[in-house]
Chain A
């Protein structure tokens, strides 16, 4: 078949489709998001956005026990949210093939943190993983992972990195599609009931210990599979300094080799566990080996362990001992390392570059969050309160010029952190600001905890009806899902009221009203929820739906004294200071009118 240009996420979806996947569930997260959307476009696949990654994994788990191939899709820190299920399904094993996609973001280009999920999935949960070196491999690995998962009865995971998910390359597809089996659920309680029960057949051993042994015993089978895997190989060459490229590390290594202009002994690794025999064969005769892998020294430590066990002594260099310990690999990083190692030098300290003015993120012109952030800022400016933040477009409110939220951690942490601050004795009002998608992801349980524990906080929910940050995926408060255009949204405010919170409503485009409502809510005792309801401008504006009356705005330059408050504290991208007067760029302004409230002189009309 002829090669086709595809992005990594499309290639992964294609591989899953050809492998006969029937159920795909995920929660949006850069860089993995588009995989689920692509899957939804193939015939015969049920695809969904679940409320969070744990639930996505559980949906896929249920499907695989029903003899249907299934896939769960998430980004790295999403896998943390799914870690609980991960640490059970690894012990039970699967029935039909189950593939977990956990996309890493080396350098944290689009993430809250830089973490390596190989540690969670392989080192911790002892599950096999593939680490693709290019888009073609991402496709092949996905396809093969389903077969291997079924054969070994284990979840197979794939760890693509940003430069795979969001990279386009030529992909040759096999085209053949694996036929599915009829759905069938046969209970097998000795496997699929994880509990501390006595196993009579195993001499009275407890089930958790018995399943642990089962998983441990699987490792030999996995090692044998990886020994034969098409994703590991050796590019032999002369010399006693060898190089190992893991996943995309191999791509950078091969580029660096070209620029270096001399062929190098290279081993390409794409699997965990690593192929031990092949690795030993590669290491034979080497004095030094440098290992290039994204983020943490996972393979490096395995190679060290392998050498220790086999009483082999050589210098093993990598992320742990030689290369920069943080950040993304690149061809230049690898090239620098190759040059340094041949010169017998340390990896050079990175030169401090000259700062080039950064382009920070903000909300779109016309975004409802800006009015909400501004209103909350007005409230806490007066009462000295603290705002804990959460993930979503509104999180840019923590940067200049808004600088509102004082914390951003992980999905849903705003609410428990807020009442932790209050319970610790902070004597001014505490606010948690959370979006609707995040509220359903992991905010609900935090809210329940706050109400049950008699917290005294104000939770503000930015209810814009979409998961805007990752590209407008629907969630439980949307009117559609991936398979259906007609869904009754679960209103987060009604839900909070049913849980016992005092609920207030406002439209954040109406800044004065929003300030009044939040102030009013603050004065009440207990857990208050303010629902700031207005559609995401960027998504719904295109569909002709906006939550404000558009008003033409302009700066009256006779009234404007150039104080810059509208710019320094507000930051709508449409407003700039030109010749010491504010100016609204008509082509960038979406006429939401929020800035009218910002200028105390009344220069914006």
Chain B
């Protein structure tokens, strides 16, 4: 058994917490886990990519090789696109459609691709998955910072690598109690979004 996950996002989106939650669940289940993150320095707003590998065998490299990821969890569409080559042809993407413009696109040195363009580029690769507007849903619940939790909920619906209850319980054990209610809502919302899509 092996399961490779890539979580791609932007600094401040809670990428690392989402990775930790899934990793901890796998460790609790007695599986081998390897993980690495690529992130910029202390500054906010850079790309943050987590690789998480789970297996009952030896894991040699902490990095998911190209074309091997079972799931690509894209917290931001451009970042998801940047790492799309990591996804296996049998894998599934789950992508938050809400863009976070880059600095260079803000000053018109680069052009942030249009949503249609990004989605078309992703679909063109004959991959399957889900597009959800997790940012909008998180805002509806009351806090844009819940994006990662909505995405975790969606993940739990698409993958059964860890049980959804286990995942939610682990998440709640890692965050302050006053956020539990919102986290539960966001998690459920993520699951529901996939149901609608599927």
Q: Which A residues contact B (CB, under 8 angstroms)? A: 5, 30, 109-110, 133-135, 163, 166-170, 248, 250-252, 254-256, 259, 330-332, 335, 356-365, 393, 396, 400-401, 468-472, 538, 564, 567-568, 571, 573, 576-577, 587
Contact = CB atoms under 8 A, between A and B. Distances in A.
B145 to A, nearest CB: 9
Nearest to B47: A359
B106 A360 contact: no
Nearest to B79: A359
22 contacts: A5-B27, A167-B62, A168-B23, A168-B35, A169-B34, A170-B32, A170-B33, A250-B60, A256-B65, A330-B65, A330-B66, A331-B63, A356-B78, A357-B110, A359-B46, A359-B102, A359-B103, A360-B103, A361-B43, A393-B43, A400-B104, A468-B42
Given A255-B65, A400-B103, A357 B112 contact: yes
A360 B110 CA distance: 11
A288 to B, nearest CB: 23
Instruction: Kindly list the 5 A-B residue pairs having the minimum CB-CB distance in the complex, ordered from nearest.
Output: A331-B65, A167-B62, A254-B60, A357-B110, A167-B36
A282 B123 CA distance: 47
Contacts of B45: 359, 361-362, 573
Interface string B69-111: 0000000001101100000000000000000011111111111
Contact of A469 (B38, B42, B66): B42
A289 B120 CA distance: 43
A168 B34 contact: yes
Interface string B2-26: 0000000010000000000001100
Contact of A401 (B36, B59, B103, B111): B103
Nearest to A335: B65
B137 interface: no
A364 B113 CA distance: 24
A255 B78 contact: no
A169 B103 contact: no
B29 interface: no
Nearest to B109: A400
B59 A357 contact: no
- B32, B45, B62, B81: most-surrounded residue (chain A CB, <10 A): B62
B144 interface: yes
B44 interface: yes
Contacts, number: 135
Given A357-B104, A359-B47, A576-B106, A166 B42 contact: no
Contacts of A469: 41-42
Interface of B: 10, 23-24, 27, 32-38, 40-47, 59-63, 65-66, 68, 78-79, 81-82, 101-113, 144
A134 B103 contact: no
A567 B103 CA distance: 9
Given A169-B33, A259-B68, A357-B111, 17 more contacts: A110-B41, A163-B61, A168-B34, A169-B62, A170-B33, A251-B61, A255-B65, A330-B65, A331-B65, A332-B65, A357-B78, A359-B40, A359-B79, A361-B43, A364-B42, A564-B108, A577-B106
A163 B103 contact: no
A134 B33 contact: no
Contacts of A110: 40-41
A330 B111 CA distance: 30
Contacts of B62: 163, 167-169, 251
A393 B41 contact: yes
Contacts of A357: 78, 102, 104-105, 110-113
Nearest to A363: B43
Contacts of B36: 163, 166-168
Contacts of B102: 357-360
B110 A393 contact: no
A252 B61 CA distance: 6
A369 B182 CA distance: 36
Contacts of A470: 41-42
B19 to A, nearest CB: 9
Contacts of A109: 38
Nearest to B41: A469
Contacts of A400: 103-104, 107, 109
Contact of B41 (A30, A256, A259, A571): A30
A152 B59 CA distance: 34
A332 B64 CA distance: 10
Contacts of A576: 101, 106
A248 B104 CA distance: 34
Contacts of A401: 103, 107
Contacts of B81: 356
B96 to A, nearest CB: 16
Nearest to B78: A357
